Amino acid sequence: MATLKDVAREANVSMMTASRVINTPDKVNLKTRQKIEKAMAALHYTPNVAAKNLVSKRVGVIDIYIPDSIDLSNPFVMHLIAGISETLSKHMYSFLILRNREKDHICDGYVVTGLLKHEIDDFYQYAQEHNRPIALFGHTDISEVDCIDVDNIAGAKMATEYLIKKGHRKILIVNVDEDKDYTTDRLEGYQLALQENGIPLSDNSVVYAANNVKGGYAAAKDLLNSRNFTAIFCATDTIALGVSRAVNESGLKVPDDISIVGFDGLGHQLLTTPHITTIQQPIFEIGKMLAQVLLDRINGEENRISKLVEPTLIEEHSVSEN
């Protein structure tokens, strides 16, 4: 079995340079790195990850914290985990999905999502006590926490402006009934679009619902009693599915009678007819980014990352001209 010494000899470099290609490849110039990687392939050399972790006092495991209030079969979760896994596997890291903090689990750091506003500070304190870094899907003012989020304000504004451009003036929002940053941001984006287009915000234009199909269905049933609107912006596609079902069951049609725009773009928008126009979050890509940011922090990166990722509009057939 080939050793690192064999690789260094084959590539005509020092042991230290060969070691850097395994541990910190970005610090080795491209030409040298390619020569060493070619030598590894020729000798069928496999790095001893366990020995590397032992020397660095790491366990090679990342915990992905997803609160038990979130269904793991949710497309958001599946896309996020797939993105995280894509990056971790390239660095020979494994992961464990953590649902609560009742028992401490040894790991090198956390990718965290789904926290209520007050829970972010609480989780940060927990991570500090264990001397482990955090990469947060969301945003926070805590200077030591790396965070990446979708620009929910811009996305909600985009959705509402799309309805306005189609001629709609009586637009409601069915928001998620949770105290999370994204729910506040999506409401703000909706309100900004109305304000910038001179459309007054009425007292009954904001409705809250559970983030599931039943929640959207129940909210729409109540709203359809008044019919003082022509369009609904749903803060998630899951809610939009319920709203669409309620509209169809009432004898009305989407989009002829009521136009609908959702938010997520992860597949749920295709589960009803017509397909729902939606704002798409690049969750898979964000998962990859979060994992890379956390690994960089574990490897000594000191500069904090705080990034917003722009969503995009997917135009389907749930909106008509008004």
Can you give the pLDDT at residue 53? 53
Largest CA distance in the chain: 79
- The conformation of residue 40, written as its DSSP 8-state character, comes to H
Tokens linked to 287: 């998962």
Work out the pLDDT band at 54, boundaries 50, 70, 90.
very low
Q: What percent of the chain has pLDDT over 70?
A: 96
- The conformation of residue 219, written as its DSSP 8-state character, comes to H
Work out the pLDDT band at 228, boundaries 50, 70, 90.
confident
d(CA 131, CA 154): 35
- 290: helix, coil or strand? helix
Can you give the pLDDT at residue 152? 98
- E strands in 44-133: 61-65, 94-98, 110-112
Peptide bond connecting 47 to the previous residue in cis, omega within 30 degrees of 0: no
Is the pLDDT at 27 greater than 90? The verdict is no
Is the pLDDT at 310 greater than 90? The verdict is yes
Q: Which domains does the chain have, with CATH numbers?
A: 4-47 (1.10.260.40), 61-149+283-309 (3.40.50.2300), 152-281 (3.40.50.2300)
pLDDT in tens, 187-219: 999 999 999 999 998 878 999 999 999 999 999
d(CA 106, CA 118): 24
Is the pLDDT at 6 greater than 50? The verdict is yes
Is the pLDDT at 58 greater than 80? The verdict is no
Instruction: Please name which of 146, 199, 207, 210 lies closest in space to residue 172, comparing C-alpha atoms.
Output: 207
More confident site: 93 or 47: 93
Is the pLDDT at 96 greater than 90? The verdict is yes
Measured between its terminal Cα atoms, the distance across the chain in Å is 72
